[in-house]
Amino acid sequence: MKALVVGNWKMHDTIAQAVQLVDGLLAVVDQFPDTVDVAIAPPFTALQAVSERLRGQSRIALGAQTMHWEDAGPFTGEISPPMLKDLGVGYVIIGHSERRAFCAETDETVNKKAHAALKHAITPIIAVGESLDEKSAGQTKTKVVMQTHAALRDLTSNQIRQIVLAYEPIWAIGTGRSDDPRNADSTMQEIRSANAELQDVRILYGGSVKPQNMAGYAAMPNIDGALVGGASLAADSFAAIVRAAAPR
Ligand code: PGA
């Protein structure tokens, strides 16, 4: 399976900074292995500028960090799937733990957004993961399998085959405390077993991925790439992660 590495820029970078970062990546795309797909998810305010920079090349795809499920309507502050399509967005991160914690994202809205993304031919990257308390209580697998089932509710087999999943242990995000690759692989195997159609779906690991630890994840059978936060904010470290993500 081809790997996928996604840079989640979160709430970072003005337009000028975002353009500088994407230009830095475009300067080194010829070093990206053919076996790795790459996407970047800048903040909404920089999507248009980054989209213009990415035009005419196919090596780096454009992603968004969230979206609403309706096409249009009275939803102040929200961004709809057609608005993202208009900007050339091909991927959307759905259900990131920061949005579940701070922006009222629920299993139900994650599911609605998954349906909406697929309807508009945007690939949803659906994030699941357990908290430190859940991990300590031995509930990791139950939690992520439950989140996966909820996210996939009423999707057809064909639709499920088009999604991407991301396993992101909440305690590993932004902490420098990455999950052990074997441990993550075992959790991800459980996620994959949640539905027969997930056999060939890409599952990304996320949580303190760095150039130094990416190869350890890429070597695992159930890890098909990474969702990268902090280390995606500099072209050299993100490019090094992409190079280390080639499946072996
Ligand atoms: P991190 O974030 O790489 O900074 O830990 C990952 C994520 O939140 O997607």
Please tell me if the CB atom of residue 8 comes closer than 6 angstroms to any atom of ligand 1. Answer: yes
Whole-number Å distance between alpha carbons of 84 and 206: 24
Task: Provide the pLDDT for residue 248.
Answer: 76
Please indicate, yes or no, whether the overall pTM of this predicted structure exceeds 0.85. Answer: yes
In this predicted model, what pLDDT tens digit does every residue of 135-193 receive, in sequence order?
999 999 999 999 999 999 999 999 999 999 999 999 999 999 999 999 999 999 999 99
Which residue of 4, 5, 8 sits with most ligand 1 atoms within 8 Å of its CB, as the best mutation to test the pocket? Answer: 8
In this predicted model, what pLDDT tens digit does every residue of 8-20 receive, in sequence order?
999 999 999 999 9
Q: What is the whole-number distance in angstroms between the Cα of residue 74 and the centre of ligand 1?
A: 31
Whole-number Å distance between alpha carbons of 117 and 120: 5
Q: Considering the chain, what is the average pLDDT of its residues? A: 98
Whole-number Å distance between alpha carbons of 194 and 191: 5
Task: Provide the pLDDT for residue 37.
Answer: 98
Q: What is the whole-number distance in angstroms between the Cα of residue 221 and the centre of ligand 1?
A: 21
Six-digit token string for 137: 């209580």
In this predicted model, what pLDDT tens digit does every residue of 153-168 receive, in sequence order?
999 999 999 999 999 9
Task: Catalogue the E-assigned strands of 73-194.
Answer: 91-94, 123-128, 164-167
Domains of the chain: 3-244 (3.20.20.70)
Q: By C-alpha distance, which of 213, 123, 111, 183 is closest to 153?
A: 111
Name beta bridge partners: 92: 64, 124
Q: What is the DSSP string of 176-201?
A: S-PPPHHHHHHHHHHHHTTSGGGGGS
Phi then psi dihedrals of residue 24, to 5 deg: -60, -40
